[in-house]
Amino acid sequence: MVAGYNGKILRVDLSRGKTSVDEPEEGFYRHYMGGRAFVSYYLLRELNGGVDPLGPQNKLIFAGGPVTGIPIAGSGRNSVGAKSPLTNGYGDAEVGGFWGAEFRQAGYDAIIIEGKAERPVYIWIEDGKVEIKDARHLWGKTTGECQKLIQQESGISGVRVAQIGIAGENQVKYACVVNDINHAAGRSGMGAVMGSKNLRAIAVRGRQKVELADSRAVTSLARRIRDILKTHRAAVAMSQNGTAGGLVALNAAGGLPTRNFKEGVFEGAEKISGQLMNESILAGRGGCYACPIRCKPEVSVGEPYNVDPLYGGPEYETLAALGSDCGIDNLEAVAKGNQQCSAYGLDTISTGASIAFAMECFENGILTDKDTDGMKLNFGNAEAMLQMVEMIARREGLGKVLADGVAKAASAFGKGAEEFAMHVKGQEIPMHEPRFKPGLGVGYTISPTGADHCHNIHDSAFTMRVGGALRALGVSEPLPCQELSSAKVRMLVYGSLWQHTLNCMVFCNFVPFTTAQMVELVTGITGWDTNVWELMKVGERCINMERAFNIREGKNKADDYLPKRFFNAFDSGPLKGVGIKEEELVKAIDTYYGMVGWDKEGTPSLAKLQELGIEWVNGA
Query: What phi-psi label fits residue 345: left (phi over 0), alpha (psi between -120 and 50 degrees) or beta?
Result: left
Query: What phi-psi label fits residue 152: left (phi over 0), alpha (psi between -120 and 50 degrees) or beta?
Result: alpha
What kind and span of H or E run contains 166? Answer: helix 166-169
Give helix then strand counts, H and E, for the chain: 24, 16
Residue 617 in the binding site for its own copies (CB under 8 A): no
- CB-nearer residue toward its own copies: 23 or 615: 615
- CB-nearer residue toward its own copies: 303 or 529: 529
Q: Of 268, 595, 603, 620, which one interacts with its own copies (CB under 8 A)?
A: 595
Q: Of 219, 418, 597, 620, which one interacts with its own copies (CB under 8 A)?
A: 597
CB 129 within 8 A of CB 205: no
- Cross-strand partners of 332: none
Residue 47 in the binding site for its own copies (CB under 8 A): no
- Cross-strand partners of 282: 299
Residue 220 in the binding site for its own copies (CB under 8 A): no
Q: Of 489, 522, 562, 575, which one interacts with its own copies (CB under 8 A)?
A: 489
Residue 472 in the binding site for its own copies (CB under 8 A): yes
What kind and span of H or E run contains 490? Answer: helix 486-505
- CB-nearer residue toward its own copies: 412 or 607: 607
Residue 192 in the binding site for its own copies (CB under 8 A): no
Sheet holding 160-163, edge to edge: 129-134, 121-126, 199-205, 160-163, 177-179, 183-185
- CB-nearer residue toward its own copies: 191 or 438: 438
CB 124 within 8 A of CB 71: no
Q: Alpha-carbon distance 444 to 481, whole Å?
A: 16
Question: Which range, of 232-240, 263-271, 327-335, 600-608, touches its own copies by CB under 8 A?
Answer: 600-608
Residue 440 exposed, middle or buried by CB count within 10 Å (0-12, 13-18, 19+): buried
Q: How far is the CB of 537 from its own copies (least distance, A)?
A: 5
- CB-nearer residue toward its own copies: 236 or 606: 606
- CB-nearer residue toward its own copies: 396 or 534: 534
Q: Of 516, 554, 571, 572, which one interacts with its own copies (CB under 8 A)?
A: 516
Residues whose CB is less than 8 angstroms from the CB of residue 148 and which lie 6 or more positions away in sequence, other chains included: none
Residue 608 in the binding site for its own copies (CB under 8 A): yes
Residue 249 in the binding site for its own copies (CB under 8 A): no
Write out the binding residues for its own copies, residues 14-43 only, by CB under 8 A: 27, 30-31
Q: How far is the CB of 512 from its own copies (least distance, A)?
A: 13
Residue 519 in the binding site for its own copies (CB under 8 A): yes
Residue 465 in the binding site for its own copies (CB under 8 A): no
The footprint of its own copies on this chain (CB under 8 A) covers a number of residues equal to 40
Pairing of strands 160-163, 18-22: unpaired
Examine residue 304 and say whether the peptide bond preceding it is cis (omega within 30 degrees of 0). Answer: yes
Of 529, 475, 450, 494, residue with least CA distance to 214: 529
* Contact footprint for its own copies (CB under 8 A): 27, 30-31, 468, 471-474, 476, 486-487, 489-490, 493, 514-516, 519, 529-534, 536-537, 590-591, 593-595, 597, 605-608, 610-611, 613, 615
